[in-house]
Amino acid sequence: MDTIFSKIIKREIPADIVYETDEILAFKDIDPKAPVHILVIPKKPIPTINDATAEDAELIGKVILAAKDIAKSLGIAESGYRLIMNCNKDGGQTVFHLHCHLVGGRQLAWTPG
């Protein structure tokens, strides 16, 4: 299914892209919740983490390692950050193309809800 993120991958809509490989894309969230708020996505359209299989293990690992590298390049590796993957309604997922939020640049509260 085509989502807003597949349109960003195909350059059909603009995004502020900060990182790209053959398999991964990362861009600034349009509605940032912190000074740094990047979305890291596999180019493969996996709708939710529920849909990931053992075949996707390496790809999802690469998403996390990309987030780590981006955090370092943006200067927040030492101060710290959070990686978040929302899943379905109760998780607050609104775009059904697997993505990892990289959030940081300020002290984050730990209050899911």
Instruction: List residues binding ligand 5GP (CB under 6 A).
Output: 4, 15, 27-31, 39, 86, 92-95
Q: How far is the CB of 34 from ligand 5GP (least distance, A)?
A: 11
- C-beta closer to ligand 5GP: residue 25 or 78: 25
- Picking from 86, 90, 99, the residue whose alpha carbon sits closest to that of residue 45 is 99
> Exposure of 3 by Cβ count < 10 A (0-12 exposed, 13-18 middle, 19+ buried)?
middle
Q: How far is the CB of 57 from ligand 5GP (least distance, A)?
A: 21
CA 97 to chain centre: 10
Q: How far is the CB of 29 from ligand 5GP (least distance, A)?
A: 5
Q: Establish whether 97 is a catalytic residue.
A: no
Other C-beta atoms closer than 10 Å to the C-beta of 107 total: 8
The set of catalytic residues is: 99
